[in-house]
Structure 1
Amino acid sequence: MPTPDTIIIEARSWIGTPFRHQASLKGVGCDCLGLLRGVWRGVMGAEPELPPPYAPDWAEAGADTLVAAARRHLIEIDPATIMAGDVLLFRWREGLPAKHCAIATSDRTMIHAHDGAQVAEVAFRPWWRRHLAYAFRFPG
């Protein structure tokens, strides 16, 4: 079973991977979900399910599919209790589905893949905290 340290080591090994929509290949390309999928493979083994193809604006369709998938495979926790190694889900406005994910590396930092950039470890600033909608822990 993964520890917070093994999750963070794996997530940090993705830093610098370019953003590529729907991809999940370390050093080649990934989006935020692809990063999470890759970290899962690195610490848990085979993915429990593969996502269907999705458009860049998939979350605007109204379904909270990212949250539903996280609830199937991760352990939901109170966002106020996040620790290093936890999965963070963000939504841009109240009432909209969550559409971005990251991995906490401390209570002040996180790793994510952002459109137009590359995987990076960034400060978990107040803007991100305001948009944090859900938090999950890897099983085990």
Structure 2
Amino acid sequence: MIPADPDRVIATARSWLGTPYHDQASLRGVGCDCLGLARGVWRELVGPEPFPIPPYSRDWGETGPREVLGEGARRMMIEVPLAEAGPGALVLFRMKPRAIAKHVGILTGPATFLHAYERLGVIEEPLTSVWRRRIAFAFLFPRR
């Protein structure tokens, strides 16, 4: 797979800024959660989603033997080492120690990222050390 142009990924993701937060939704300007943001960017950059997304819990402290989000991304995206994740990369965050990765963001610069956050909607903010140390996986969107 050839990676999508990072500038195009970032521009597409930024077009979602201000979209209200809505659990398990994925409609730009109407509502989305963090995964819904990634799904919407995928549809605009790559095309139709390759498989339906089953309902999922909002529990950021969820534990288990499988990294469901990571496995799903690995099926359709290009995994990269965390040290190589740059602007345009999709990153998965492990929000609590020993929990599975349950939050998604898109890097927009060396120290910024965009994500959908409850009560705030889609925002772009600094990738602080607190956020950076939670990154568990990194992927690149493939080119259409």
TM score, norm. by length of structure 1:
0.94
Q: Is the 8 A contact 2:94 2:101 kept in 1?
A: yes
Name segments (4+ residues, structure 1) moved above 3 Å.
none
Alpha-carbon offset, residue 51 of structure 1? 0.6
CA distance in 2, matches of 1:73, 1:59: 25
Q: Is 2:95 the partner of 1:68?
A: no
Identity, in percent, stands at 48
Q: Which residue of 2 aligns with 1:27?
A: 29
CA distance in 2, matches of 1:95, 1:46: 33
Q: Which residue of 1 aligns with 2:41?
A: 39
Q: Which residue of 2 aligns with 1:139?
A: 142
Measured on the aligned residues, the alpha-carbon RMSD in Å equals 1.5
Q: Is the 8 A contact 1:90 1:100 kept in 2?
A: yes
* 1:58–1:110 distance in 2 versus 1, CA, 3 Å: closer
- 3-state DSSP class of the match of 1:98? coil
State which drifts further: 18-27 or 115-124: 115-124
Q: Is the 8 A contact 2:61 2:95 kept in 1?
A: no
Deviations 1:10-55 (A, max 9, x none): 1000000000000000000000000000000011111111211123
CA distance in 2, matches of 1:67, 1:115: 21
Q: Which residue of 2 aligns with 1:108?
A: 111
Alignment partner of 2:8 out of 6, 9, 12 = 6
TM score, norm. by length of structure 2:
0.91
- 3-state DSSP class of the match of 2:124? strand
Output the amino acid matched with 1:45: G
- Count of matched residue positions in the alignment of Structure 1 and Structure 2: 140
Alpha-carbon offset, residue 96 of structure 1? 1.2
Deviations 1:61-106 (A, max 9, x none): 5242101101101111111111111001000233210000100011
Please list every run of 5 or more consecutive structure 1 residues that lacks an aligned counterpart in the other structure.
Answer: none
Q: Which has the higher contact order (CA 8 A, sep 6+)?
A: 2
CA distance in 1, matches of 2:61, 2:39: 18
Please list every run of 5 or more consecutive structure 2 residues that lacks an aligned counterpart in the other structure.
Answer: none
Higher fraction of helix: 1
Q: Is 2:110 the partner of 1:93?
A: no
Output the amino acid matched with 2:57: A
- 3-state DSSP class of the match of 1:102? strand
